[in-house]
Structure 1
Amino acid sequence: MSLSIGIPLTLLLLLGNGFFVAAEFALVAAKRPRLERAAAEGSRAAASAVAGIRELSLMLAGAQLGITMCSLGLGLVSEPVIAETLTPVFHSAGLPETGAHAVAFVLALALVTFLHMVIGEMAPKSWAIARPERSVLMLAPPFRGFTTVVRPVLASLNSVTNVLLRMIGVPPRDALSVSRTPEQLRDLVEESRRLGLIEEPDVQLLKAALEAPESPLEELMIPVGGIVSVPPSATPQEVIDTSIRTGRTRIMLRGRGQGPGGRPGPPRMVHVRDAYLARARGRRTPAGQLAHPVPSLTAGTPVTEAVATLQAHQSHLGLVLGHDGTPVGLISLDDLLTTLLTPDRA
């Protein structure tokens, strides 16, 4: 291959590698709530980014596949082209042909490695971390297009990876968890107070929230008669209208659906954000297809244990069941925190 072809191809491979690296770090570093708000306002790039974050494991596999392909391309194309160009130079300088080729190969390897690390790795990584939302809005649409094309390959690789993880006792995850334990949050509060980042009244307020009482859920839950719900067949516009009328962003679905083996499925809820996204795309997807499972809790569950359960399921709602297993109310993290932070309710 001639130098006139090898150099442009090398630059394309470096830029491709940088694209996948930047996309990978942007998806991990971007703040999902900001993207969800932008998506609800009609941003297609934000909607694409949110969809990528929801299947983060698959997207990261796509990034690694792209990086691997570009790296192999650099090894197969760039290094031989540069080495073949430099070999005659060193040979004319008096080195034997074998020695000239060895020196040229080492220099070509060093040059390609340097360019790969700086242009293909470090620069795009730093850019994505410094401006995660901006970079993910730019990169998510084409990156989603790439993963769509290679999705069968990625699904196979991901399945094999998940099997290996389960064999060593590690449950696979498709989304990034950012939850913190109460002990970690207390340490953050104390460190922030020591550095003067938050005032003393705010410190006491945060400590009160972290020191949740051991009162049972039945004292804090929304009674079953006050639960806002829609049928699984509700259109996105009906979900949005219900949210506007009630002020709730998370709305329960009526009925349990069908789980494995014909058993009743878990309770489900639909977020108005997903309804806005479906409407923005011109779809009439029923609420049942937009819904997410909701964990169930008993009425006697302590508040701290309920919070831990909701965090483990990454859910803001929990259905409260009575002693006979029938629903008696609904608990939400929003209402729970409001109760804890109100002095006359703490």
Structure 2
Amino acid sequence: MLILLVASLIAANALFVLMEFAMVRVRPSRIEVLARKGDRRALAVQGVLTRLDDYLAACQVGITLLSLVLGWVGEPAVAVFVAGAFGGLTEMVPPVVFHAMVFAVSLAILSWLHIVLGELVPRTIGIQFAEAVALWGALPLIGFAAFLRWPVRLLSASSKMILRLAGIKPAAEADHSVTVDEMRVLLGETQERGAMPLERLLLLENLFDFGSAKVSEAMRPRERIAYLSLARSWDENLAVIRDKRYSRYLLCETDLDSAIGIVHIKDLILSEVGSNPDLKKLRRDMYEVPAFESLEKLLKTMPDKGVHLAIVRDDLNRILGLITLEDIMEELVGEVRDEFELVSNWVTGEFFSRAAVDANLPTIERKATIRHLMDKMKAVNPDLNAEAAFEAVWERELKFASAVGRGVLVPHARLLGLKEPLIAVGRFAKAPPVPTPDGTPLRLVFLILTPLETPTMQLKVLQRIASLVTNETLRRKILRAKTDESLLTILRTADTLLAT
């Protein structure tokens, strides 16, 4: 009979521990979603979370009372069985020693049962299945707290008073907001569970980086600006229009530094002019922004003002480049083509080089791996500042680890002054001790550097790499390649197929 009582006390203790950790662990945002759907259990959980300190105190009251009772009745109950098991020793040792042995063994057994079955196991279950446990146990917990209302309130009030004296907020008032870095981790874990494609994760990553992006990072530099000039003949200006096929052009008195406005092709078409139109009469005012302006702010400002193109100037009022709404959107979603752009198949294969491929990477940690591949990039491009490139990549790695699951690492960065993308590829024969989101041993590393001046290039390369590693057939072929040459051949062939 006493043994059944002991088992019941341990089970009841486990339930309180289960509820305690589930309520602390459960995501309020998930409960909010269920509550909006009319789930009454979720509404009960919300009630618990709004007074979390009170209900944690209720759990502690239950755990403490049960532990005291367990210690009171448990040891004698277990001692009966232990004494029976050691009965043969009664004639060999003094009674005092025998009772001490029985007490020690009984206490050890009871402690093991209480700690393992009453604490550790329910704690793990409460953490792993927090939502289900919280939904199942919220109403019973509310009932228990109501039954012991006054002791619970006294304990909760005492706890809150001590916390406030120490300058600490109670649990219910704590800040549960999620930082951007935490959101990156959560989204990475979501992608690893198969709830989000890798391409969408990369898109969201661009969205997070968008807040710190400046106009100078997305603008078209002045060397790439096509403009119309009053100093040119109409035939020369028309040749520029036919070659570039843009809808808007800067209008300048002579050269680019004498810009006076913008000419829209629609105005040219709708104007009643002869073979030599007066571009100055068709001029529209131009919008100007500083190079350090936030892209996020500009994305709101330009549509509000009805502006599609802006001139970018530096502190000395010199024209550095221009930026369009399309350029801003490309920072988020990749290259955007209109119906007049000449479309050509684009492949990353041209950026793969034999010198930057290593089919048998040494089994080293992540930082050393990136340095190893950076040295290979240096061999391909001697002008590359390898140390500055490494610092840019590693700084980003510290903010958001680029292990994207499926045994793939994609460290990358955009560098000022780089003329074209550089890609180094490595494959581990034996997985290094590098943590990955889904636990898959790390096998492939794609180190990517792209020009800072062409932000869409990075997006295009990342999207292509994502397509490579999510294609199971291609991934198997890459992992089975025996030499650098065969690995390079597979990468170039696969990339060409994906581009068609």
Q: Give the TM-score category using the shorter length.
A: 0.5 to 0.7
Structure-2 separation of matches of 1:125 and 1:189: 22
1:54 alignment counterpart:
50
Structure-1 separation of matches of 2:140 and 2:186: 40
2:79 alignment counterpart:
83
Structure-1 separation of matches of 2:105 and 2:30: 46
1:161 alignment counterpart:
159
Structure-1 separation of matches of 2:147 and 2:155: 14
% identical aligned pairs: 30
When the two structures are aligned, how many residues end up with a matched partner? Answer: 209
- Residue 104 of structure 1: which of 79, 102, 105 is its match? 102
- Residue 206 of structure 2: which of 162, 180, 204 is its match? 204
Classify 1:210/1:60 alpha carbon distance in 2 versus 1 (closer, same or farther; 3 Å). Answer: farther
Structure-1 separation of matches of 2:11 and 2:27: 25
CA contact (8 A) 1:17 1:71 kept: yes
- Residue 144 of structure 1: which of 130, 142, 145 is its match? 142
CA RMSD, Structure 1 to Structure 2 (Å): 3.1
Classify 1:188/1:47 alpha carbon distance in 2 versus 1 (closer, same or farther; 3 Å). Answer: closer
2:35 alignment counterpart:
39
- Residue 17 of structure 1: which of 13, 17, 30 is its match? 13
* TM-fit CA distance, 1:66: 0.9
CA contact (8 A) 1:22 1:128 kept: yes
Structure-2 separation of matches of 1:170 and 1:49: 24
Which amino acid is the alignment partner of residue 203 of structure 1? E
Q: Deviations over 1:140-167 (max 9, x none)?
A: 1111110111121111111112222222
Structure-2 separation of matches of 1:9 and 1:189: 44
2:118 alignment counterpart:
120
Structure-2 separation of matches of 1:25 and 1:107: 30
Unaligned runs of 5+ in 2: 215-293, 302-500
- Residue 69 of structure 2: which of 73, 79, 94 is its match? 73
Structure-2 separation of matches of 1:19 and 1:185: 31
* TM-fit CA distance, 1:181: 4.1
Classify 1:139/1:190 alpha carbon distance in 2 versus 1 (closer, same or farther; 3 Å). Answer: closer
Classify 1:201/1:86 alpha carbon distance in 2 versus 1 (closer, same or farther; 3 Å). Answer: closer
* TM-fit CA distance, 1:209: 4.4
Q: Deviations over 1:254-313 (max 9, x none)?
A: xxxxxxxxxxxxxxxxxxxxxxxxxxxxxxxxxxxxxxxxxxxxxxxxxxxxxxxxxxxx
Structure-2 separation of matches of 1:189 and 1:127: 21
TM-score calculated relative to the size of structure 2 = 0.38
Q: Which has the higher contact order (CA 8 A, sep 6+)?
A: 1
Classify 1:115/1:102 alpha carbon distance in 2 versus 1 (closer, same or farther; 3 Å). Answer: same
Structure-2 separation of matches of 1:35 and 1:7: 39
1:27 alignment counterpart:
23
TM-score calculated relative to the size of structure 1 = 0.53
Q: Deviations over 1:213-233 (max 9, x none)?
A: 697xxx9xxxxxxxxxxxxxx
Secondary structure at the residue paired with 1:170?
coil
Unaligned runs of 5+ in 1: 220-346
Q: Deviations over 1:103-156 (max 9, x none)?
A: 111111111111112211122122222222111111111111101111211111
CA contact (8 A) 1:186 1:210 kept: no
Secondary structure at the residue paired with 1:174?
helix
Structure-2 separation of matches of 1:139 and 1:186: 29
Answer 1 or 2: which has greater helix percent. 1
Structure-2 separation of matches of 1:53 and 1:132: 13
Structure-1 separation of matches of 2:16 and 2:168: 26
